[in-house]
Amino acid sequence: MKKTIIKVGYSVRKEIMAALGVTYPTIRKALNGTSDTELAKKIRAAALAKGGVELKIVEK
């Protein structure tokens, strides 16, 4: 099973929180791939635009 996460620093997470008006748990769920809403897609796009790194996790 593959899972994609996005790694960004806390300061970037704070910037996204302020820009989109969301809470930290919302950011965390979006970046960890546990949420697939339109808002989560916006959060992931913003994180990648701000230098986030996309990692594919393969679970056995």
Q: What's the CATH code of the domain at 44?
A: 1.10.260
Tens digits of residue pLDDT in 40-59: 999 999 999 999 999 998 87
Q: What is the pTM of this model?
A: 0.88
d(CA 47, CA 60): 27
Tens digits of residue pLDDT in 15-49: 999 999 999 999 999 999 999 999 999 999 999 99
d(CA 37, CA 2): 19
What is the pLDDT confidence band of residue 1, given thresholds at 50, 70 and 90? low
Query: Do the beta carbons of residue 36 and residue 50 sit within 8 Å?
Result: no
Q: Is the pLDDT of residue 11 over 90?
A: yes
Q: How many independent structural domains does the chain possess? A: 1
Domain region containing 42: 2-58
Residue 56 burial (CB < 10 Å; 0-12/13-18/19+)?
exposed
Query: Computed from CA positions of residues 19, 21, 52, 41, in that sequence, does the dihedral angle turn out positive or negative?
Result: negative
* Strand 53-58 versus strand 2-7 pairing type: antiparallel
